[in-house]
Amino acid sequence: MDWCLDEYEKFVTRMNTPRVVIDNAVCPTATLVKVDSARKHGVLLEAIQALADLNLSINKAYFSSDGRWFMDVFHVTDHLGRKLADDRVISYIERSLGTGGSARSEVLNGFTALELTGTDRPGLLSEVFAVLSDLQCGVSDATVWTHNGRIASLAFIKDEGGSDSPIADDAQRIQCIEARLRNVLKGDDDIRSSRATVSAAATVVGVNADRRLHQMMFEDRDYERFSTGGEESCSAPSVSVQNWIERGYSVVNVQCRDRPKLLFDIVCTLTDMEYVVFHGTIDTKGDRAHQEFYIRHKDGTPISSEAERQRVIQCLQAAIERRASEGLILELCTVHRRGLLADVTRTFRENGLSVTRAEVSTRDNITVNVFYVTGSAGHPVDLKTIAGIQQRIGAGVLTVKEEPREQVCQKRPDREEATGVGLFYLGSLVKRNLFNLGLIRSCS
């Protein structure tokens, strides 16, 4: 009897293992990644996360569930817009998707995780890094997002005072770090809460950093908007949500500027809000993306109230905007030293620059930091100011990586238009599923 149970468990495991096919022959401009898997909550996000970890662009996609099974087809290119030609990349995709998620998991031995949320203000990041430097905490990896007046950061820190023990093992030191940082994050005029949490790195190993930041900002309610009486920003993404009563779905339509990891940000938010994506289509034309999702609650019901509908719209808009920080992109690459981040961000602050997003990574004693910066009150950065900062820090150390792009206004569809668009795209969804089944050979 025990033998039968073991064989049954092996059979179930084999049946639930995703089947991955990577095809470079069908489409002349993109590599097709096809995934068939058992349907479970979050399975779509796992596949998208694995592709996002490789910084691949998803130009088109369609996915659909049929009973207990889920089928995905992604049209992907590398960061230069080319088809995938590296066998190592293809092998990595097959391994990671074949195991039901990303295979990338880096253990930061001896490091301690630090999570921060609070009210954003000019110079705040400089103050945070100054406190960490003063407390002899070195930052190995960190990601910082700002949105709607709030800031969230996930960082990995290590003692630089000579101790080999993780900071998380010293309860008294943890209390000191958290108290100092909460005081900085709180500010003088903060009417909302701030949070500084130190924990063992092992508690967040395996958790995608970007997903954790989305969760932190969602918990901090950064999606709440307060009307100022003016018009909406022309850069705000267009999101509509309508119910398709006959089929029991809620149809989510998103139209916005395309960018890396856009699909991940949207599906991550829907998943963490405990919605299940049953069908979807993704289409990119030029720099514009159109994404459509047919969703239900985990209990199988669609969105049930106007308040919930508005909340979904607000949360998706926030998820798109968090990573789409405006500003000049600066890259700092140099040998790591104690207090480096505190010195660089203090220089930014002294020259009137605000950091809207940051990514910090240190490997083999070399630190690579990317900063998105704006001038005072969000104005464009004066390039003469950047030249002065480069001279102070080092022209070969700090470089301008990318100029900011102009924002394009996008008309939001009204209720009637959104409903029509949703039902129209159902036809495309059916057509694309036929392609997924091999009955249509087309790249469009």
Q: What is the pLDDT of residues 216-254, one digit of tens each?
A: 999 999 999 765 444 445 567 999 999 999 999 999 999
Nearest Cα neighbor of 274 from 220, 239, 315 is: 315
* Contact in structure between 117 and 66 (CB atoms under 8 Å): no
Residue 437: pLDDT band by 50, 70, 90 thresholds?
A: very low
Centre a 10 Å sphere on the Cβ of residue 384 and count the other Cβ atoms it contains.
8
- pLDDT for res 37: 85
Q: Tokens in use for 42? A: 């979050």
Q: What is the pLDDT of residues 2-11, one digit of tens each?
A: 455 455 445 4
For residues 202, 205, 210, 216, the Cα torsion angle rounded to the nearest 10 degrees is: -30
Nearest Cα neighbor of 52 from 91, 79, 72 is: 79
C-alpha to C-alpha distance for 181 and 120, rounded to whole angstroms:
13
- pLDDT for res 244: 94
Nearest Cα neighbor of 329 from 373, 362, 359 is: 373
* Helix, strand, coil percentages, rounded to 5, for the chain: 35, 30, 35
Residue spans per domain, the chain: 112-205+327-402
Cβ neighbors of 435 (< 8 A, separation 6 or more) are 62, 73, 441, 442
- pLDDT for res 39: 79
Residue 380: pLDDT band by 50, 70, 90 thresholds?
A: confident
C-alpha to C-alpha distance for 29 and 8, rounded to whole angstroms:
43
Average of per-residue pLDDT values in the chain: 83
Give the CATH H-level superfamily of domain 112-205+327-402: ACT domain (3.30.70.260)
Centre a 10 Å sphere on the Cβ of residue 258 and count the other Cβ atoms it contains.
19
Nearest Cα neighbor of 312 from 297, 322, 325, 290 is: 297
- pLDDT for res 440: 39
Q: What is the pLDDT of residues 268-299, one digit of tens each?
A: 999 999 999 999 999 999 899 999 999 999 99
Nearest Cα neighbor of 149 from 214, 236, 220 is: 220
Q: What is the pLDDT of residues 88-140, one digit of tens each?
A: 999 999 988 877 555 444 546 678 899 999 999 999 999 999 999 999 999 99
- pLDDT for res 270: 97
Terminal alpha carbon distance of the chain? 52
What separation in angstroms does the CA of 288 have from each of 72, 210, 254, 399, 427?
Answer: 22, 23, 10, 29, 21
C-alpha to C-alpha distance for 37 and 44, rounded to whole angstroms:
9
For residues 224, 230, 236, 242, the Cα torsion angle rounded to the nearest 10 degrees is: 70
C-alpha to C-alpha distance for 344 and 330, rounded to whole angstroms:
11
* Contact in structure between 93 and 19 (CB atoms under 8 Å): no
Residue 442 has pLDDT above 60, yes or no: no
